[in-house]
Amino acid sequence: MRLYLASRSSARAELLRELGIPFIIAPADIDEAKIIEQHSDPLDLVEILAKTKAETVAADLSGDYIVVGCDTVSVRNGKILGKPRTKEEAKEMIMMLEKYPDNQYTGVCVISPEESFARTFHANYIFSGFREVDVDNYIASGEPFSNAGALNPRGKFAGTFGLTVKGYYHADFSLPLEVLVSVLRTHDLLPDFSKL
170 to 2, 36, 92, 130: CA distances (angstroms): 25, 23, 25, 23
The single-letter DSSP state of residue 169 is G
Catalytic residue selected from 44, 71, 136, 192: 71
Closest CA to 104 of 125, 89, 118: 125
The single-letter DSSP state of residue 19 is T
7 close to 53: Cβ distance less than 8 angstroms: yes
**Known catalytic membership, residue 71:** yes
The single-letter DSSP state of residue 145 is G
3-state secondary structure of 2: strand
Helix, strand, coil % in the chain, rounded to nearest 5: 40, 25, 30
Name the helix (H) or strand (E) containing 120: strand 116-128
Name beta bridge partners: 67. 4, 111
Q: Which residues are catalytic?
A: 71
